[in-house]
Amino acid sequence: MITSAEYFKAFQNNDQRIISLFYEQHERSFKRLLSSKYTITDEDFLADIYQDTIIRLWENIQRNRITIETLTTNIGGYLYGVGENVLREQLRKQKETSIEELPQLPDDTNDSIEEYEITERNRAIQDAVNNMGKPCAPLLLKFYWDQLSWDIIAQQLGYANANSAKTQKNKCMNKLKNLFKA
């Protein structure tokens, strides 16, 4: 039986054989858990959620957002937690925008508008963050742009621990939200 640490190392090293074993081992129970908890019957939707969750798990490990030392549960438990977040994001997106409600534009127009909106929104957010100063600007930049783990951020910015850094990030995000409301 493969341990959480061995799976974690496989994700770090992109060991496709072990990652495939992990994928197959957790797929059925993952889908069963989410479908029963959220009463979802669409198998294709659940398959997409699972695929997105595996990718997010891999990204979190590759970007050191989670390390074997900071993992507070086994890697399967972490997978389910990430999966619930992915599912909630997808359900929220579906609720916010229904395809039938959107006007149809030519394909190239959609791409241009989306690129412009993303660029402008990112520029506005980055300007706002840069203008926030200490302690918010360095903290938010390290978390969102550099995608560092909480332990590394806490160490680099002199916080007592990862939870202190997370608490400060929440305060900074509230400040940022208030800036955009104004």
Pick the CATH number of 4-96 from 1.10.1740, 1.10.10, 1.10.287, 1.10.3470: 1.10.1740
The yes-or-no verdict on residue 135 having pLDDT over 70 is yes
Sign of CA dihedral 168, 173, 179, 182: negative
At 110-126, the pLDDT tens digits run: 444 455 455 566 666 77
DSSP string, 134-151: TTHHHHHIIIIIS---HH
Nearest Cα to Cα of residue 28 among 79, 89, 90, 78? 79
End-to-end CA distance of the chain: 55
Say if residues 68 and 101 touch (Cβ distance below 8 Å): no
Mean pLDDT value of segment 158-180: 85
Predicted structure pTM score:
0.53
The CA-based dihedral angle spanning residues 161, 163, 165, 169, taken in that order and rounded to the nearest 10 degrees: 180
Question: What residue ranges do the domains of the chain occupy?
Answer: 4-96, 108-181
Percent of the chain exceeding pLDDT 70 equals: 82
At 4-63, the pLDDT tens digits run: 889 889 999 999 999 999 999 999 999 988 888 888 888 999 999 999 999 999 999 999
pLDDT at 103: 46
pLDDT at 130: 72
At 18-34, the pLDDT tens digits run: 999 999 999 999 998 88
The yes-or-no verdict on residue 170 having pLDDT over 70 is yes
Considering only 107-111, 118-122, 139-143, which range has the smallest mean pLDDT? Answer: 107-111
Which two three-digit tokens encode residue 84?
């619930």
DSSP string, 28-91: HHHHHHHHHHHT---HHHHHHHHHHHHHHHHHHHHTTSS-TTT--S-HHHHHHHHHHHHHHHHH
pLDDT at 67: 87
